[in-house]
């Protein structure tokens, strides 16, 4: 079955259908990771986006039950050069095609993804439509009339509806955790579209993990008597999320009086920065990949990070108590914040990796240390 990808600037790519037949609309973005397609497909931060992978051979090791970052694929559409029909890996439980089909994902293969990537690099991300049913002209019309990605609150769509406890047990490879970390740290995770590996990373460090809906208020959170709060990753434009920003402001105010460590990841970093008084802006084509160098300004050390974001925090407008702690070495954008006095910090990249390098998992250690350093305990 044939498929067409149409971009809002009029570019048309013709290829072969993967996943199911149908039509889908979304912002088209590219990711340069060479492994981890299953984690990418199931990352809620991709909601509303048609994701193209620049690595040409996808699906080689199949899909399995363990590499899910949420309960289902989240992308609006999937674009690859070649989807492997006979994967080989001892964990492989199904092919990429089976997986996309089961979850009703529309995709396309056989197009020149490098040409598409260059297009996005030069002209920026844009709305696009992917279809097995419509003509190119019909698709162009659909794209023109579609609501813009930037105007939709995707966070409400991916967040959990009710609070739940994450109790899947995780064993920590290496096992260098001393007993003090198993002191009852209870983390409330505000679910803006959280990836499972954030929850696993906390759990494997002995934390009790409570996941709460994105609209939860400070009062609702405090009922759980958390020792720390994690602001998760998530999709879309942070400036639309007034409810989340207000809530984080309340948290910051509360933490002036009571010791409450807060860690932000990705969208969590942007929301935290906005709550402090900063602003966000849209990047031309975002950062999506597993090879972004980030510099820790305090130590001068450089870390290779996993990234997935289309917006960034401006380095202006932050109060003097909050400093930019990390920057991206490629384009010098803000990659992290640190409160000088309070136990609050955030990063724009993904310490939970999955996919990508695990070099930054020490940030979870740091968060656990902050919680364990509770002056009252």
Partner 1 sequence: MPKRTDIDKVMVIGSGPIVIGQAAEFDYAGTQACRALREEGVSVVLVNSNPATIMTDTEIADRVYIEPLTIEFLESIIARERPEGLLPTLGGQTGLNTATQLAKAGILDKYDIQLLGTPLSAIARAEDRELFKQTMEEIGEPIPDSAIVTTVAAAEEFAERIGYPLIVRPAYTLGGTGGGIAGDIHSLRNTTTRGLTLSMINQVLLERCVTGWKEIEYEVMRDGADNCITVCNMENLDPMGIHTGDSIVVAPSQTLSDKEYQLLRSASLNIIRALKIEGGCNVQLALDPESMDYYVIEVNPRVSRSSALASKATGYPIARVAAKIAIGLRLDEIPNAVTQKTLACFEPALDYIVVKIPRFPFDKFVNSDRTVGTQMKATGEVMSIDRSFESGLMKALRSLEIGVYGLRLKGAELWSEMELEEKLRKATDERIFVVAEAFRRGWQIREIHEQSAIDYWFLEKIEKLIIMESRLRDLRLEDLTPDLLLEAKTMGFNDHHLGELTGLKETVIRARRKEFAIGPVYKMVDTCAAEFEAETPYFYSCYEMEDE
Binding to partner 1 (CB under 8 A) within 127-166 occurs at none
- Please report how close the Cβ of residue 336 comes to partner 1 at its closest, in angstroms: 16
By beta-carbon proximity to partner 1, the closer residue of 184 and 298 is: 298
Cα-Cα-Cα-Cα dihedral sign, residues 196, 198, 201, 206: negative
- Please report how close the Cβ of residue 190 comes to partner 1 at its closest, in angstroms: 26
Structure tokens at 364: 């979870």
Q: Which of 39, 69, 266, 287 is catalytic?
A: 266
Where are any strands of DSSP class E within the chain?
Answer: 2-7, 12-19, 23-31, 49-53, 57-58, 77-80, 82-83, 106-109, 126-131, 164-166, 186-191, 208-213, 228-231, 262-265, 280-296, 302-313, 322-328, 334-339, 344-347
Q: Which of 12, 16, 22, 35 binds partner 1 (CB under 8 A)?
A: 35
Active site residue 332: no
CB under 8 A: which stretch of 94-102, 159-167, 265-273, 286-294 binds partner 1? Answer: 286-294
Cα 190 to Cα 217: distance, rounded to the nearest angstrom: 10
Q: How many residues bind partner 1 (CB under 8 A)?
A: 56
- Determine the 3-state secondary structure of 138 from DSSP: helix
Q: Does 319 bind partner 1 (CB under 8 A)?
A: no
Q: Does 292 bind partner 1 (CB under 8 A)?
A: yes
Q: Does 293 bind partner 1 (CB under 8 A)?
A: yes
Cα-Cα-Cα-Cα dihedral sign, residues 20, 26, 30, 36: negative
Binding to partner 1 (CB under 8 A) within 323-352 occurs at 329-330
Angle formed at CA 30 by CA 27 and CA 33, multiple of 5 degrees: 145
Letters for 43-62 (x = contact with partner 1 by CB under 8 A, - = none) are -----------xxxx--xx-
- Please report how close the Cβ of residue 109 comes to partner 1 at its closest, in angstroms: 12
Q: Does 118 bind partner 1 (CB under 8 A)?
A: yes
Binding to partner 1 (CB under 8 A) within 182-241 occurs at none
- Please report how close the Cβ of residue 88 comes to partner 1 at its closest, in angstroms: 4
By beta-carbon proximity to partner 1, the closer residue of 135 and 330 is: 330
Q: Which of 60, 52, 98 is nearest to 79 (CA)?
A: 52
How many residues are listed for the chain in this entry? 377
Cα 252 to Cα 90: distance, rounded to the nearest angstrom: 47
Q: Does 314 bind partner 1 (CB under 8 A)?
A: no
Cα 320 to Cα 330: distance, rounded to the nearest angstrom: 26
Active site residue 266: yes
- Please report how close the Cβ of residue 220 comes to partner 1 at its closest, in angstroms: 35
Q: Which of 12, 20, 84, 283 binds partner 1 (CB under 8 A)?
A: 84
By beta-carbon proximity to partner 1, the closer residue of 150 and 359 is: 359
Element (H, E) at 153: none
Provide the 10 A C-beta neighbour count for residue 123. 14
Cα separation values, 81 from 44, 114, 249, Å: 23, 9, 44
Q: Does 115 bind partner 1 (CB under 8 A)?
A: yes
**Please, what's the b/e burial string for 94-109 (b: 16 or more CB within 10 A of its CB; e: otherwise)?**
ebbbebbbebebbbbb
Q: Does 365 bind partner 1 (CB under 8 A)?
A: no
Cα 58 to Cα 56: distance, rounded to the nearest angstrom: 6
Q: Which of 292, 326, 339, 350 is catalytic?
A: 350
Active site residue 350: yes
Question: Which positions are annotated as active-site residues?
Answer: 266, 350, 352
Judged by the rule CB under 8 A, the positions of this chain that interact with partner 1 are 13, 30, 32-36, 38-39, 54-57, 60-61, 64, 66-67, 81-82, 84, 86-91, 111-115, 117-118, 121, 174, 285, 289-293, 295, 300-302, 304, 329-330, 353-359
């Amino acid at each position: 079955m044939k498929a067409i990808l149409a971009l809002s600037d009029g570019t048309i790519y013709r290829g072969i259908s993967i996943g199911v037949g149908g039509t889908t609309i979304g912002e088209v973005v590219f990711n340069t990771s060479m492994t981890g397609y299953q984690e990418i497909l199931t990352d809620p931060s991709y909601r509303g986006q048609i994701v193209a992978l620049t690595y040409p051979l996808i699906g080689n090791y199949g899909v399995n039950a363990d590499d899910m970052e949420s309960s289902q694929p989240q992308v609006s559409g999937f674009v690859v050069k070649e989807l492997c029909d006979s994967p080989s890996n001892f964990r492989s439980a199904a092919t990429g095609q089976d997986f996309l089909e089961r979850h009703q994902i529309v995709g396309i293969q056989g197009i020149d993804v490098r040409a598409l990537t260059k297009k996005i690099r030069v002209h920026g991300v844009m709305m696009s439509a992917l279809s097995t049913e419509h003509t190119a002209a019909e698709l162009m019309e659909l794209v023109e009339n579609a609501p813009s990605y930037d105007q939709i609150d995707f966070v409400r769509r991916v967040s959990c509806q009710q609070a739940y406890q994450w109790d899947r047990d995780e064993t920590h490879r290496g096992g260098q955790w001393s007993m003090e970390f198993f002191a009852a740290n209870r983390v409330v995770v505000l679910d803006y579209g959280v990836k499972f590996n954030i929850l696993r990373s906390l759990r494997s460090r002995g934390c009790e993990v409570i996941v709460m809906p994105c609209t939860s208020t400070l009062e609702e959170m405090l009922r759980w008597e958390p020792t720390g709060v994690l602001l998760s990753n998530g999709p879309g434009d942070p400036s639309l999320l007034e409810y989340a920003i207000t809530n984080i402001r309340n948290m910051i105010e509360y933490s002036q009086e009571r010791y409450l460590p807060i860690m932000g990841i990705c969208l969590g970093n942007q929301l935290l920065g906005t709550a402090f008084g900063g602003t966000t802006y849209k990047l031309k084509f975002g950062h999506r990949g597993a090879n972004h160098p980030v510099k820790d300004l305090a130590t001068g050390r450089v870390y290779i990070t996993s990234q997935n974001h289309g917006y960034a925090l401006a380095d202006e407008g932050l109060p003097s108590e909050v400093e930019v702690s990390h920057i991206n070495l490629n384009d010098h954008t803000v990659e992290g914040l640190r409160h000088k006095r309070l136990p609050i910090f955030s990063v724009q990249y993904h310490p939970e990796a999955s996919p990508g390098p695990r070099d930054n998992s020490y940030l979870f250690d740091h968060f656990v240390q902050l919680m364990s350093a509770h002056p009252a305990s």
